[in-house]
Amino acid sequence: MKPDKEKIDNGRRSFIGAAAGVSAAVVAPGVVLHTVDATAAPRTEPVTDLHRWGMLIDTSKCADGCSACVSACDRENGLNLQSKPLGDDPLKWDNQRAVWIRKVKLQDNTTGRITNLPLMCQHCENPPCVDVCPTGASFKRADGLVLVDRHTCIGCRYCMMACPYKARSFIHEKVDQKLTRAPRGKGCVESCTLCVHRLDEGDISTACADACNAEGHQAIVFGDLNDPDGPLRQALRQVPSRQIRQDLGLNTGVRYSGI
Amino acid sequence: MAIKAITKSGLLVLAAAGAFLASAGARAEQVGDFVLPSSKAAKVENCVEPTEYMRRNHFEVIRHQRDTTVYGGIRSTKHSLAGCVDCHVGYDESGQPLSVSDEGQFCSACHDYAAVTMNCFDCHATVPEGESWNHETAALHGHLGIDLAARAAGPDAPAHREGSQQ
Amino acid sequence: MKRIVYREWRLEPARYWGLLAILLSVIAIGGMAALYMEHEGHWVTGMTNSVVWGVPHVFAVFLILAASGALNVASIGTVFDNAAYKPLGRLSGLLAAGLLVGGLLVLVLDLGRPDRLQVAMTTYNFSSIFAWNIFLYSGFLAVTIAYLWTMAERKGNKFMKPVGTFAFLWRLALTTGTGSIFGFLVGREAYDTAILAPMFVVMSFAYGLAVYMLVLFYSFDADDRPIGPVMLKRLKNLLGLFVSAVLYFTLVYHLTKLYGAKNLDVETFILVTGGIYTAIFWVGWVLIGGLVPLGIIYHPVLGQERNWIAAAAGLVIAGGLAAMYVVIIGSQAYPLEMFPGKTVLEFGAPGDVGGAVAPYSPSFPEILLGFGGVGVGLLITAVGIRVLQFLPESLTDRDVAPAAGAASA
C-alpha cells in the first residue's frame, strides 16, 4: 500500500465517522475503504477498460436489521421520491416500485445459520440482460458497469426475464419528482449503476459503501477489480469469496464472502 | 356600385391579411426572446454556442452529448442537458425554480410554438434538483483533489441560485 | 382431379357487417385498454417487477404460435404434395398473416415505450433472440404474402413449391425462435432448456390447426359451403396427432426437468404445490387442452360429428392459452433460486417477494388488450375472404382430390 493513499483514506474515514456522529476511533483501521485516483476530476476522456469497478461484500460484517445501504441508495438515486399511484393496491405497489439494492436475510437449511447481505446488480462481465436486449439499450460500459440507455430502451422487460438476480426494476408509473443526477421515467427499465455519477466526477465511492462504513460495519468494499494493489483486490486476496449463481459463469463484479 | 363593393371587400381582406401577418411577426419576435428574465441565462451574453447556432442545432448538440455521457461517462462538458436546465430554468417571486417544460417556460414556449414534441423530460429533471450532492459531497471529498471552482464554472455546475456566472 | 373453384365469402350483408361491427368493437376496446395502460403506466396492470410479462404476452405468444401453425395447412398441400390440402392453402396463408399481425400488435402495445417502436425497428442487438424474432416476424409476413400470391395468381403457380417450402422452413425458424425467447433464459429454472423450442413448434401445429378448423367451419357454415366427411376426418385426425404430440413433449419437458435434481423444486411447484398454476397445468393444459379433445376426436360416435370436432378444436385453443399461462406466468411467479441450500427469510422491504412465490392477478386492461389482438387477426381474415377469392366453393369428397381421398380413407 502506498503511504499517501493511507493518509488520504484516514482523512476520509474520520470525516465519515464525524458525519455519522460516531467518533473516528469506532471505525476499525486496517481496511482501505476507497481507491484514490491521483487524477480524480470530472472526466474528459471516455471510460476505458483499464478499470473494472466491483465490490466485495463481507456477509459476516453485514448486520441483522441494518438497512443503511438501502436508504442511502434510495436517497442517492432518488428512489425515495417514488410515490404509489392513487388507487394502486399497496401490496402490488411493493412489487412495482423500483428497487436497486435489497437487504436479503438467509437461513441455512441444515445448520440454521443466519446470513445477511445486500443484493444489487452484480455487474456481470457476461451479463445476460445485455445479451437479450433487442435494441442494445442494456449495455456494459467499458469500465464494467452494466447500465441501461434510457434513450433506446423500449420497455420490453426481456432483460428482467433474463437477470438471475432480480436486480432490475421497471418504472410502472409516471414519475413527477426526479433528481438531475438520476433521470427516471415511466416505461423504462433501470438498475444499480454503482453510483456512476460519482465515478464520472472522479469520486471513487458508492452511496451504499459509504453508508455501511458510516455505520461502522464496513461490509462493502468498493473498488477497481483491475488494480492489483487496490483495496478491492487486497480485500479479495485476504478473504475467500464467491459469486452468487457462480454456476452460470457470468463473472460478476460483485463478490460475496461467507455465503 | 358593384365595383365599389368589390373593391371595398377586397381592401377589407387585404387589411385582415395584413393584420394577421403583423401579429405573426409579433409572435415571431416573441419566439426570439424566450429566455426568461429570472433565469441565469438572461444575465449572460450568449449560450454555450452562438445563439443562432443553438436555435437551429441545440438538439444535435444535446444528442451528441447524450451518447458521450451515457457511453463515455463524460458529464462535465458545456453541452450537458443538466447545464441547459440549470441555466435556463426560471424562478418565481419566492425564488422557487419553475419547471423548464411547463407552459410558457423556456423549453416548451418555443417547442409549443413550433409544435415539436420533447421527450427529454419524460425522464430528466426539469429543475436543478439534488445537485447539491455534487456540491456537498465534493466538498467532503475535497481530499480527492476535485477542483470545485472549475466545476462551479461549468454549465452543469451545482444549483446555487445566487450564482450568475456561466 | 377437378379444378378447385374459389369464391368470395357470400354472407348476407347484414350478417357480414354485424360480424365486422363486433370484431371492430372488440378491437376498439382492446385499443382503448392499451391507451389506458400506456397513459397511466403499467401499474394499472397486474404486472410487477417479479412477474414482468403477463396476460398480454400469453395472448401474443399464443397468437404468434397459432399463426405459424395455421400456415402448416398450406405447407401440407404444397410442400408435402398432399393434394387434399391444396384447396385449404389460401385461407391458411391469410389466417397466418392475420393472427401474426394480431399477436405482434399485442406485443408492441404492451411495451413500456410503444412510441419508440421506430427504435426497435432500427437499432438491433444481434446477440438477442428478440431482435432476431423481429426479423423472423416481419419476414414471415412478407413470405406469407408472396406465398399467397403464388397460390392465387396463375403466373405465380410455378413458384408455389419453392416459395411454399421456404415459407415452411421460415415458420419452423420462427417458432423455434419464439420458443428460444424462453428456452435461453439461463437464470430461470423453469426455462433453461432447449426442449422448449421443439415443444413450441409442436404446440404451434396444434393451436394453429385448431384455430384454422374453427375459422373454416364457421366461414363454410355461414354461406352454406359443404365440407365432406373425408375432409373432416382428415383434419380431425391431424389435430389428434398434433395434440398427442403436445402431450408427449409436455411429458418429456417435465421428465427432463425432473431428471436434474436442481430443478426438483420448480417441478414440484408446477406439478404439485403451485396452487393456481398447478391447477391450470393439470386442468387447462393437460385435461382441457389434451385429454378431453383427444377423447372427443377418437370417440367412435362424437368423433364423427362436426360440432363435437369443433368443440375439440375450441378446447385445444383454451388449453393452449392455459399452457402459455403456465409457461410464461407460472415460471416467473416461481422465485429465482439464488441461494441453494438456504431459505430466504427476508428479501428487501416487507412485501417485496424474492424467496416467495410472486403474486399475480391479471387486470382487465391486459385481458382486453389480448382479446383485441385476437379481434385483429379475425378481422383481417373476415375482410380478406370477403373481398378476395380465398375460400374454395366446396370441400365435398367429390371435389377434393378424389384419388387422395380414396387412398387415405
- Contact call for residues A235 and A224 (beta carbons, < 8 A): no
Q: How far apart are CA A222 and CA A91, in angstroms?
A: 34
Average pLDDT for A148-166: 94
Scan for cell 462538458, then name that residue: B77
Q: Do A106 and C342 touch (CB under 8 A)?
A: yes
Of the candidate ranges B30-39, B147-156, C2-11, C205-214, the one whose mean pLDDT is the lowest: B147-156
For A139, name the nearest residue in chain B, comparing CA atoms only: B71
| B129 with A180: Cβ contact below 8 A | yes
**A47 contacts B72? CB cut-off 8 A:** yes
- Whether the per-residue pLDDT at A220 is higher than 90: the answer is yes
pLDDT interval class at C187 (50, 70, 90) = confident
The complex scores an ipTM of 0.89
Chain A residues within 8 A of C49 when measuring between CB atoms: 95-99, 160, 166, 168-170
Structural domain of A234: 41-257
Could you give the number of structural domains in chain C?
A: 1
The confidence score (pLDDT) of residue B17 equals 58
Q: Could you tell me which residue, C323 or A23, shows the higher pLDDT?
A: C323
Give the residue numbers spanning the domain of C62.
Answer: 6-340+347-404
Residue C221 lies in a domain: yes
What pLDDT is attached to residue A20?
40
User: Could you tell me which chain C residue has the CA closest to the CA of A256?
Assistant: C339
3-class secondary structure, C347: strand
A7: nearest CA in chain B? Answer: B143
Q: If we measure between CA atoms, which residue out of C319, C321, C314, C373 comes closest to residue C107? A: C373
Q: Which three cell numbers stand for residue C175?
A: 417458432
Q: What is the mean pLDDT of residues A65-72?
A: 95
Residue A138: predicted pLDDT: 96
**What span, in angstroms and rounded, lies between the C-alpha atoms of B65 and C285?**
52
The verdict on residue A2 lying in a domain is no
* Domain locations along chain B: 1-31, 36-153
3 state DSSP class of B100: coil
Residue C370 DSSP symbol: H
Do the Cβ atoms of A94 and C181 come within 8 Å? Answer: no
- Domains identified in chain A, total number: 1
End-to-end Cα, chain B, rounded Å: 67
**Amino acid in position C391:** L
Grid look-up 430554468 returns: B89
Q: Give the strand order in the sheet containing C342-347.
A: A114-120, A101-108, C342-347
d(CA C196, CA A150): 31
Task: Please give the angle made by the CA atoms of A98, A103 and A108, to the nearest 5 degrees.
Answer: 135
Closest residue by Cα to residue B40 from B80, B7, B79, B86: B86
Q: What is the pLDDT of residue B12?
A: 59
CB burial of C211-245 (b: ≥16 within 10 Å; e: otherwise) equals: bbbbbbbebbebbebebbebbbbbbbebbbebbbb
Q: Are strands A254-257 and A53-58 parallel, antiparallel or unpaired?
A: parallel
Report how far apart the first and last C-alpha atoms of chain A are (Å, whole number).
Answer: 28
CB-based contact (8 Å) between B85 and chain A? yes
Which domain CATH number covers C330? 1.20.1630.10
Nearest chain B residue to A199, by CA: B73
Asked if residue A67 lies in contact with residue A103, where contact means CB atoms within 8 angstroms, the answer is: yes
CA distances from residue C326 to A12, C69, C306 in whole angstroms, order as listed: 53, 20, 30
Tell me the pLDDT band of C344, cut-offs 50, 70 and 90. Answer: very high
Average pLDDT, chain A: 86
Return d(Cα A114, Cα C344) in angstroms, integer: 10
Cell of B117: 414534441
Quote the percentage of chain C above a pLDDT of 70. Answer: 97
Confirm whether C182 is domain-assigned.
Answer: yes
Query: Is there a contact between A203 and B74 if contact means CB atoms under 8 Å apart?
Result: no
Alpha-carbon dihedral sign for residues C242, C244, C250, C256: negative
Per the model's pLDDT, the better-predicted residue between C195 and A140 turns out to be A140
DSSP conformational letter for A125 = S
Chains that touch C (3 or more CB pairs under 8 A): A
Chain C hits for A119, Cβ within 8 Å: 338
pLDDT at C297: 95
Residue A28 DSSP one-character state? P
**Contact flag B71-A139 (C-beta cutoff 8 Å):** yes
Q: Which of residues 121-180 of A touch C (CB under 8 A)?
A: 128, 130-137, 152-158, 160-166, 168-174
Look at residue B28 in the predicted model and tell me its pLDDT. Answer: 44
**Angstroms from A66 CA to nearest CA on chain B:** 23
A 120-179: CB under 8 A from B: 139, 141, 143, 147, 149-151, 175, 177-179
- Which pLDDT belongs to residue B152? 36
The answer to whether the beta carbons of residues C360 and C47 sit under 8 Å apart is: yes
pTM of the model: 0.85
DSSP letter, residue A195: S
Q: A177 and B129: CB-CB below 8 Å? A: yes
- Across the interface, do B151 and A42 touch by the CB < 8 Å criterion? yes
Angstrom distance (rounded) from CA A102 to CA A94: 13
Question: What are the chain A neighbours of C123 within 8 Å (beta carbons)?
Answer: 135-137, 152
| Domain assignment present for A84 | yes
Model confidence over B58-87: pLDDT tens digits? Answer: 999 999 999 999 999 988 778 888 888 888
Of residues C42, C50, C125, nearest to A133 (C-beta) = C125
Phi, psi angles (nearest 5°) of residue A186: -55, 135
Q: Distance (Å, rounded) from C-alpha C157 to C-alpha C150?
A: 5
State the average pLDDT over residues A37-47. 71
Weakest mean pLDDT among C207-221, C256-270, C307-321: C256-270
Contact: C52, A157; criterion CB under 8 Å: yes
Domain assignment of residue C1, yes or no: no
Average pLDDT over residues A145-162: 95
Best to test chain C binding among A93, A158, A159 (most C CBs inside 10 Å): A158
